[in-house]
Amino acid sequence: MNISLQQAEKAITAAKAKAAETGTLMNIAVVDAGANLVAFVRMDNAWLGSVEIAQIKARTARYFDMPTGEIGKLSQPGGPLYNIEHSNRGLITFPGGLPIKDSNGTIIGAIGVSGSTVENDHIVAQAGVDGVYADQ
Amino acid sequence: MNISLQQAEKAITAAKAKAAETGTLMNIAVVDAGANLVAFVRMDNAWLGSVEIAQIKARTARYFDMPTGEIGKLSQPGGPLYNIEHSNRGLITFPGGLPIKDSNGTIIGAIGVSGSTVENDHIVAQAGVDGVYADQ
Amino acid sequence: MNISLQQAEKAITAAKAKAAETGTLMNIAVVDAGANLVAFVRMDNAWLGSVEIAQIKARTARYFDMPTGEIGKLSQPGGPLYNIEHSNRGLITFPGGLPIKDSNGTIIGAIGVSGSTVENDHIVAQAGVDGVYADQ
Amino acid sequence: MNISLQQAEKAITAAKAKAAETGTLMNIAVVDAGANLVAFVRMDNAWLGSVEIAQIKARTARYFDMPTGEIGKLSQPGGPLYNIEHSNRGLITFPGGLPIKDSNGTIIGAIGVSGSTVENDHIVAQAGVDGVYADQ
């Protein structure tokens, strides 16, 4: 199964709403199960450097089927995955990327958010994940 | 002046409607005046290879402030811009990329469309441009 | 639906047999529906430069859901897709890449073959496609 | 001397068996003495991000003729090879890559495994190395 554009747009709508609620300006990207881009938005005046980071976060979360921040715990100096970021034309391993699952728990894509603190990026990404199956 | 996310979303909505009307499956990208990505959608089952091509078309149209197909006329063997596609980490110089202007004629961004013949790509891109200022 | 490793290995076994039959030395790559690599082999003494070309052919065939040679007809000087090869970190648009479909006609992946003339590359790729559903 | 495709396939078969035995889903790559790819498989549902990491591990192990994890001990902050991962279009220096030797101890290639913990990756890679000369 693969995320549809409609589902991706629901994720982005929910993420944008959470960004507005938290007073942040975000770049938001959604990839499908094959890690290919489905949808992207940059809120007005959001960081330009986050255009790519949001996309890489989404890709990284799908590449390893876990939140990006979990990888970052393992890629520190002395950690088991030190410098994994050098692979795959660049990975981002701090929070803000999350897998998206269907109702059976199968991963169908991922979301990546970048534009504020990593804590805020994560909160907005989670809102996007929750939005996929919410009534809107 | 710079295109807003709201304007970019209007362009994408209009382009998606034209794609549906023409029975095509498109990747649609909008960049701002700085040639940085503002919004992107891939319609379900649209070509994966067009994810990047749509973005490059939008970028190319803003890089040179003209329709991508105009550059392609000049980049042929023997032409004055032969192989300009090697620059800027890759350009696309066939139709489907168009500048977006404000009501004063100032360029505020560009749209790139990829997923069908270049004729269809151009038609859908033009619908996106027209959609920026349409009532919806 | 996505090609399985078992199906990819059947494609490669059939392609290797056809290469042996035609007296050629091939690089053979299979990607899934998301254009991600599933399996690859290089026959002893096959061209090193074809390691990447085989993979790009498979990726290109899935990116545009058609035989790579069909794209090449359109990307010539003066053609509608001139220099499309500059996108997507490089495309290969001569024969040797073919989509792989399931029994319903849905594309589940693609195969790319490189190591001889493009005619031979195409023949070996077609044998790989045919091998996916053959009894072995 | 150079590893043959037949030897590479024996390594992959043995590595896949060990992966199954340990309940892991692996990407497995084998390169030859020239560090060029010979064979690759991705087990169904193995991490997409490990497609490239498995290949880089194999390449890294041959580039320096030692287990990748040995390089990682030297590339930490303050270490003699700090940030060596920036070279060669990206290296991976945590465990999972091992040189493959012939019966005289000459290095004929390398294997790279990625898809689980680095401990499991190393175990499966070692099984691959052992499989080259095993009766099957």
Q: What share of chain A is helix, strand, coil (3-state, %, to 5)?
A: 40, 20, 40
pLDDT of residue C1: 79
Pairing of strands B27-32, A27-32: unpaired
Q: Write down the pLDDT at residue C135.
A: 67
ipTM of predicted complex: 0.96
Q: CA A62 → CA A34, A104, A109, C17, distances in Å?
A: 8, 17, 6, 36
* Gap between the Cα atoms of D114 and D42, Å rounded: 10
Distance CA(C97)–CA(C113), nearest Å, equals 6
Query: pLDDT band at residue B84, thresholds of 50, 70 and 90?
Result: very high
Q: What is the pLDDT of residues C63-103, one digit of tens each?
A: 999 999 999 999 999 999 999 999 999 999 999 999 999 99
- In chain A, residues with a C-beta closer than 8 Å to the C-beta of B9 are 41
What does the pLDDT look like over D48-91, one tens digit per residue? 999 999 999 999 999 999 999 999 999 999 999 999 999 999 99
Minimal Cα–Cα distance from B65 to chain A, Å?
A: 21
Best of B3, B5, B12, B31 to disrupt the A interface (most A CBs within 10 Å) is B5
Percentage of residues in chain A having pLDDT higher than 90: 96
Nearest residue of chain B to residue C86 (CA atoms): B90
Closest Cα in chain A, distance from residue B83 (Å): 26
Strand positions, DSSP E, A1-136? 27-32, 37-42, 97-101, 107-114
Percent of chain C having pLDDT more than 70? 99
**Which residues, in sequence order, are CB contacts of C92 under 8 Å at separation 6+?**
C53, C56, C57, C60, C68, C85, C112, C114
pLDDT category, C133, cuts 50, 70, 90?
confident
Q: Which residue of D has its CA nearest to A60?
A: D49
DSSP string, B21-41: HHT---EEEEEETTS-EEEEE
Q: What is the pLDDT of residue D68?
A: 98
- H helices then E strands: how many in chain C? 4, 4
pLDDT at A135: 67
Contact B47 C34 (CB under 8 A): no
**Model-level pTM?**
0.96
| Residue C66 neighbours by CB distance under 10 Å | 18
Which token pair is D80?
């003699």
Tell me how close the Cα of A116 comes to any Cα of chain B, in angstroms: 17
From chain A, the residues in CB contact with D83 under 8 A are 83
- Which of D2, D4, D5 should be substituted to probe chain C, the one whose Cβ sees the most C Cβ atoms within 10 Å? D5
pLDDT greater than 60 at residue C136? no
Which of the other chains make 3 or more beta carbon contacts under 8 angstroms with chain B?
Answer: A, C
- The structural domains of chain D, ordered by start, are 5-125 (3.30.450.150)
CA D8 to chain CA centroid, nearest Å:
11
C-beta atoms of C36 and A34 within 8 A: yes
Q: Which of A60, A77, A80 sits opposite D49 (nearest CB)?
A: A60
Which DSSP letter does residue D1 get?
-
* D43–chain C Cβ distance below 8 A for any pair: yes
Write the residue in C35, C78, C81 that is nearest to B48 by C-beta. Answer: C35
Residues of chain A predicted below pLDDT 50 = none
Residues of C whose CB is below 8 A from D7: none
As a whole number of angstroms, the distance between CA D41 and CA C92 comes to 22
Residue appearing with tokens 């996007």: A128
What's residue B133's pLDDT?
86
Q: Which of A4, A41, A48 is nearest residue B36 as measured by Cβ atoms?
A: A48
Query: Shortest CB distance from C87 goes to which of B56, B95, B118?
Result: B56
Q: Where are the beta strands (DSSP E) in C25-106?
A: 27-32, 37-42, 97-101
